Amino acid sequence: MKRFQRRIEDFTCEHCGTSVKGDGYTNHCTKCLWSKHVDINPGDRANTCVGMMKPVRTEGTVAKYFIIHECVRCGAEARNIFGKYDSIEAILAIARDAAEGIAKHAS
């Protein structure tokens, strides 16, 4: 079974309403960075959960950043690479919100 299936799909973000032009690797909104829980393996569209995936934190280094999504329906997490057309402001907001959450728990 292939672990990755490239699918070129355009979609409308169910979180913010942005029209997203897919390139075969796009799996989240380029404006708000929300996703949808539709895959078991990338591109297979085999997951029946179909819950919305909230961007909850970032990981990585200058060379490669990842967005960590958490499904608001089932709680599953997925790691997705930050794309070249993704909103820098949105990823900075996610990183800031995650850091503020860590600071609140530490105090």
User: Does residue 100 lie within any of the structural domains?
Assistant: yes
What per-residue confidence (pLDDT) applies to 42?
A: 87
What per-residue confidence (pLDDT) applies to 107?
A: 67
User: Does residue 4 lie within any of the structural domains?
Assistant: no
Distance, CA of 107 to CA of 76 (rounded, Å): 28
The predicted model gives 5-15 an average pLDDT of 93
Q: pLDDT tens digit string along 24-82?
A: 888 999 999 999 999 998 889 999 999 999 999 999 887 788 999 999 999 999 999 99
What per-residue confidence (pLDDT) applies to 1?
A: 52
Distance, CA of 72 to CA of 50 (rounded, Å): 10
Domain count, the chain: 1
User: Does residue 57 lie within any of the structural domains?
Assistant: yes
Residue 95 and residue 58 in contact, taking contact as beta carbons nearer than 8 Å = yes
What per-residue confidence (pLDDT) applies to 49?
A: 97
What per-residue confidence (pLDDT) applies to 73?
A: 98
Residue 37 and residue 74 in contact, taking contact as beta carbons nearer than 8 Å = yes
User: Does residue 2 lie within any of the structural domains?
Assistant: no
Residue matched to tokens 């672990």: 3
User: Does residue 98 lie within any of the structural domains?
Assistant: yes
Which two tokens mark 72? 């608001």
User: Does residue 53 lie within any of the structural domains?
Assistant: yes
Residue 39 and residue 47 in contact, taking contact as beta carbons nearer than 8 Å = yes
Give the predicted TM-score (pTM) of the model. Answer: 0.87
Which residues span the domain enclosing 69? 11-106
